[in-house]
Amino acid sequence: MSDVILAVLERPEAAAHLLRAAERLAVLTRATRVNVLAVRTPPGYAALTSEAAVGELLADLIALEDERIAALEAAFRRWEAGLTEAPLRARWSSVEGLADPIVNEGCRADFIVVARPESDDDEPTRRAFHAALFRTERPVLVVPPGWAAAFGRRVAIAWKDDNRAAKAVLPALRCMGSAEQVHVLLGARQAAVEATLPPILSEHGVQAELHMLPIFPGTFGQALLDKAHELGADLLVMGAYAHSQLLEALLGGVTRHMLAQSDLPVLMRH
């Protein structure tokens, strides 16, 4: 049995980087299939939610959406033509809807690849991202804008002793087979706290180095990012936390910071 990667395309300008990230993830996990999904926003819904739709005809909205989907498919075809990783197979699909198509396909995949949210994303794009991260119960690789490098050689794990961190680490183990270094980043409010590596790593034969990070008032997410960069990490693994699955403002503080600021791929699982 081999893994299936689902890549969800939204922005045409991000499609090429996202597809290359999905291909790299397939190599790391020995997946043989990458399913690529583009969700077409229903024109009636777009007319209700778009600020620019007041003076536009419905036909104009349909034409804009046709143009976006065509650009996404063109990016997919170019990427597919250049695939060199045999026996990797790719499938393109485009369906109309909001979050449900992502949930339906995502629940059948082993990993989901999405672009990191942008501040100017429209409401359907934000809804699609939240569906992937919080409704599929699958690990989600969040790819920052413009990321074109390989990842998985130096892995940093943001560890918290709870089930969400463990749920994120378990699928990430499949990405660590060729890792040169694995680092565990553990936050501590007291300098004298005694800590050991998570048993989940030693039980799976993963050698890792533990790093204690003091938790001070402010943004701990930035401290995690700074340490990951200091260690030369090219992939960060962490649990995703939210008090609400719908409101971005209520995301857990570290999760919110990573989704806004991370400049390296983050493998998350809620």
Q: Residues 178-187: pLDDT tens digits?
A: 899 999 999 8
d(CA 88, CA 86) in angstroms, rounded, equals 5
172 contacts 237 by C-beta, under 8 angstroms: yes
Question: Which tokens hold the place of 39?
Answer: 């969700």
Where the chain has pLDDT below 70, the residues are 1, 44-57, 85-86, 190-194, 217-218, 242-252
CA distance linking residue 139 with residue 116, whole number of Å: 14
The residues of the chain that CATH labels 3.40.50.620 are: 4-143, 154-269
Q: Which CATH architecture has domain 154-269?
A: 3-Layer(aba) Sandwich (3.40)
Q: What is the pLDDT of residues 130-161, one digit of tens each?
A: 999 999 999 999 999 989 889 999 999 999 87
Please give the pLDDT value at position 107.
Answer: 96
What pLDDT shows up at residue 85?
Answer: 64
CA pair distance 135, 132, nearest whole angstrom: 6
Residue 92, helix vs strand vs coil: strand
What pLDDT is attached to residue 230? 97
Distance of CA 33 to the CA centre of its chain: 18
The predicted model scores a pTM of 0.90
Confidence at residue 246, expressed as pLDDT on a 0 to 100 scale: 41
Would you tell me how many other CB atoms lie within 10 Å of the CB of residue 184? 22
Q: What is the pLDDT of residue 187?
A: 83
pLDDT at 205: 92
What pLDDT shows up at residue 56?
Answer: 55
CATH architecture group of domain 4-143: 3-Layer(aba) Sandwich (3.40)
Q: How far is CA 46 from CA 38, 39, 56, 129, 226, in A?
A: 16, 13, 11, 17, 39
User: If phi over 0 gives left and psi between -120 and 50 gives alpha, with beta otherwise, what is residue 132?
Assistant: alpha
Q: Report the C-alpha gap between 112 and 105 in whole angstroms.
A: 9
Q: What is residue 11's predicted lDDT score, i.e. its pLDDT?
A: 94
Query: Quick one: pLDDT at residue 17?
Result: 95
Cross-sheet strand order for the sheet of 140-143: 89-96, 33-40, 4-9, 111-115, 140-143, 266-269, 235-239, 154-159, 181-188, 209-214
